[in-house]
Structure 1
Amino acid sequence: MHCAQRMMSAQLCLLACFILKVGLTLGLGKNQDIQFTFLLPAGSTECFYQTTRGNDNMEVEYQVIAGSGLDVGFALISPSGYKLVSDFRSSDGIHMVDPTEGGDYRLCFDNSFSKLSEKIVFFEVIINSQSSAGAGPDQWANVATTDSLVEYQLEDIRAMLDSVYQHLQRSLQVQASLRAFEARDRYLLEDNLWRVSFWSCLNLLVMLAVAAAQIYTLQHLFDDTKRVCT
């Protein structure tokens, strides 16, 4: 039992490291969106902080992708100390904050109710900053107008580029969520495969034991009959 728990813990750690590496690779650059996967030990609580500006909107999504029960507690606390969200033993959730306060939001994941099982949790924070959306016109206004750009309006070009950028970022977010779902499904399949294999082997051993007992009983019945006849 201890060996099995150690092997399971090692697999969970490797899975968390793999997903964390991919998430950090996608999170490089000036993007404010964050994807993070971590290992939540049994009987513990982990908190993360996200800095926001005022009058922005923030979306928080989380899901448990591995661990017994696939459930954790979640709390979202505002910079002023108010608890905005409180989930108890939930496997996933999506929460919106609109508008946001200026300061640090606290995201806490609770696994204190589970004394034996550790969990792997994936969460994503998406911040749509209103201040950053309007930061581009000054930079575009400094671009010198040439004869080849007379037919195009500068605002239309900027709007199209912003739209392409937003669609690309949304694609990255969807891909990160799909990877988390795939990791959770893989964990469930492996766990179910181990259970099916164990009970199948146990049933096979019971059937063999019953067959051996029946053969032994029949042999003794025939031996007793021969002795009575003689």
Structure 2
Amino acid sequence: MNDSVSLPTWTKLAKRLFYFAVQSGGSFDIDYEVKDPTDKVLLDGVRERQGDYVLTANTVGEYAFCFENDMSTLTEKLLDFDIMVESEPRREPPAKPGQIAEQTSALEESVFRLNGMLLNIKRTQKYFHTRENRGFDVVKSTVNRLFWYAVLESLAVVGMAFVQVYVLQTFFTKTGRRYKV
């Protein structure tokens, strides 16, 4: 593949969220491959517009994310790419004097829930950003097509005017002699 991204070493059985979306360029499609440290292909896709996957790291090491744009080599593509940790082990904070462990765990649970909700909002915003970019590209394409349609239509009207003048002139000419109107 043309472009690849290697990530820091993952721990075994860690879950990672892998998200990508083509923001602009061509038909908004790209080929991709995800390989583990032993070069085994975990995920692959051809002509995909976007993807949202959960990967489990079964092997410790660097994972490669490869993207390929061979089907439209003349068109550059802008790709939104994100990898998030889903199940990271929690660190135990040092115990403070006079602090109750139950209150700390309830507070931590609230923080983790809020973090999950914020990540969900972030993903939703990325989705809407992708939709906005694709919609804008469709609008630009439509405006361009309307412009050329209007130019061709204007040329057709002018051409028809010349044809009508020629036809009318041929009606009023008789074997080399013209009648004046």
Normalising by structure 1, report the TM-score: 0.67
Report what 2:144 is aligned to: 194
C-alpha contact 1:49 1:107 (8 A) present in aligned 2: yes
Report % sequence identity: 19
How far is 1:223 from its partner? 4.3
1:191 match: secondary structure: helix
Give structure 1 stretches of 5+ with no counterpart: 1-43
Is 1:66 matched with 2:19?
no
Question: Which residue of 2 is the match for residue 21 of structure 1?
Answer: none
Letter in 2 for 1:173: R
Give distance in 1, aligned partners of 2:130 and 2:179. Answer: 74
- Matched to 2:5, the amino acid is F
Q: Does the CA contact (< 8 Å) of 1:58 and 1:100 recur in 2?
A: no
Q: Does 1:163 align with 2:120?
A: no
C-alpha deviations, 1:169-228, integer Å up to 9, x for none?
Answer: 322232123212211221222122212221222122122212221123213423449x47
Match of 1:82 among 40, 60, 85: 40
Which piece of structure 1 moves more, 79-88 or 112-121?
Answer: 112-121
Q: After superposition, what is the alpha-carbon deviation per residue over 1:27-78, rounded to whole angstroms, capped at 9, x for unaligned?
A: xxxxxxxxxxxxxxxxx82111223222111121222221122221111111
Tell me the residue number matched to 1:122: 80
1:58·1:127 contact (CA, 8 Å) conserved in 2?
A: yes
Gaps of at least 5 residues in structure 2 are none
Contact 2:173 2:179 in 1 (8 A): no
The separation in 2 between residues aligned to 1:100 and 1:210, in whole angstroms, is 72
Which has the larger helix fraction?
1
SS at match of 1:54: coil
Going from structure 1 to structure 2, the CA distance change for 1:103 and 1:229 (only over 3 Å counts) comes to closer
| Counterpart for residue 46 of structure 1 | 3
Give TM-score, length-normalised by structure 2.
0.83
CA distance in 2, matches of 1:161, 1:192: 46
Distance 1:170 1:144, change over 3 A: farther
Match of 2:133 among 173, 180, 183: 183
> Contact (CA 8 Å) 1:76, 1:106: kept in 2 or not?
yes
For 1:187, give the aligned amino acid. Answer: D
Please say which structure displays the higher CA radius of gyration.
2
Task: Report the CA distance shift for 1:229/1:47 in structure 2 as closer, same or farther (over 3 A).
Answer: closer
- The residue number in structure 2 matching 1:209 is 159
Runs of 4+ residues deviating >6 angstroms: none
Q: 1:59 to 1:100 in 2, by over 3 A?
A: farther
Name the count of aligned residue pairs: 179
Measured in 1, the distance between the counterparts of 2:30 and 2:129 equals 19
